[in-house]
Amino acid sequence: MQLKGKTVLITGGASGIGLEAAKQFLANGASVIITGRNQGKLDEAKKMCPAITTIRSDVSDANDAQKLFNQVQQLGGIDILYNNAGVLTDPINLGTANDRHIEDAEYEMNVNYLGVIRLNNLFIDMLKSRKESAIINTTSLLSYVPSLLEATYSASKVALQFYTKSLRKHLQILNSSVKVFELLPPLVATEMTTDMNSKKMTTADMVKAFIAGLKKDQLTIRIGDTKVVYILNRFFPKLTFNLANPKKSYKVIAS
């Protein structure tokens, strides 16, 4: 895929992977619009990269999503919708009665899954009208093997993975030129993963590999440890589950 001259909308683009992606898209000659819920973070991102256009918007809010679409349309539209926004709740014991089970699941599914569908529905006709366009959905290595500590987050990413594959096939059946990419990052060093002690990939290295995959039209972009997890889980699912959920995670659940 050609990135130069394209306009990219990145949700959750004010920090972490989204902000690094904005920088690297700019370096590849694209124009970039980022969204986020925190105006302060958006302002800081704008100071860091003046070429970025910022719009405060929450993907989980239908009214915000519609306002975002209207603003983007006024700016001339986009060629690439990069659904990067995601949330992760604190670990919780699913085996005990707790109102947080449903609250956390609703929150994660609304942002990580329904928020993606919400924006895709709004922007799909705009993207279809472009000569070359794309939707990028961010799943996770946890869409292959669940994490006991991030159970509902894992479930939201599985839902998004199945939706992404179906969306891609639907557009192919319709002979649409819209390309649907699935990005599967490993554990990346961001604010979301600050408290995790496992090996982490830098945002710069992750996005560099991601951009390389886009340029090659690699529709499923597995990066770093995600490649290993994908292969291991196909042949040794029990081993892969145990590697993803070491005994120390049991203590967190039981505490």
The pLDDT tens digits of the residues spanning 207-231 come to 999 999 999 999 999 999 999 999 9
Overall domain count for the chain: 1
Decide if pLDDT at 98 tops 90. Answer: no
What is the residue range of 47's domain? 7-254
In three-state form (DSSP H/G/I as H, E/B as E, the rest C), the secondary structure along the chain is CCCCCCEEEECCCCCHHHHHHHHHHHHCCCEEEEEECCHHHHHHHHHHCCCCEEEECCCCCHHHHHHHHHHHHHCCCCCEEEECCCCCCCCCCCCCCCCHHHHHHHHHHHHHHHHHHHHHHHHHHHHHCCCCEEEEEECCHHHCCCCCCCHHHHHHHHHHHHHHHHHHHHHHHCCCCEEEEEEECCCECCHHHCCCCCCCECHHHHHHHHHHHHHCCCCEEECCHHHHHHHHHHHCHHHHHHHHCCHHHHHHHHC
Residue-averaged pLDDT of the chain: 93
Give catalytic residues, as residue numbers: 153, 157
Domain annotation covers residue 219: yes
Question: Residue 20 belongs to a domain with what CATH number?
Answer: 3.40.50.720
Residue 230 lies in a domain: yes
Residue 1 lies in a domain: no
Q: Give me the pLDDT at residue 116, please.
A: 98
Q: What is the pTM of this model?
A: 0.94
What is the pLDDT, as a whole number, of residue 92?
80
Q: Which residue has the higher pLDDT, 191 or 106?
A: 106
User: pLDDT per residue over 131-172, tens digit each?
Assistant: 999 999 999 999 999 999 999 999 999 999 999 999 999 999
- Residue pair 107/86 in contact by the 8 Å Cβ criterion: no
Residue 2 within a domain: no
With cut-offs at 50, 70 and 90, classify the pLDDT of residue 177.
Answer: very high
Task: Name which of 153, 152, 84, 72 is nearest 115 in CA terms.
Answer: 84
Residue 86: pLDDT band (50, 70, 90) is: very high
Could you tell me if residue 51 is inside a domain? yes
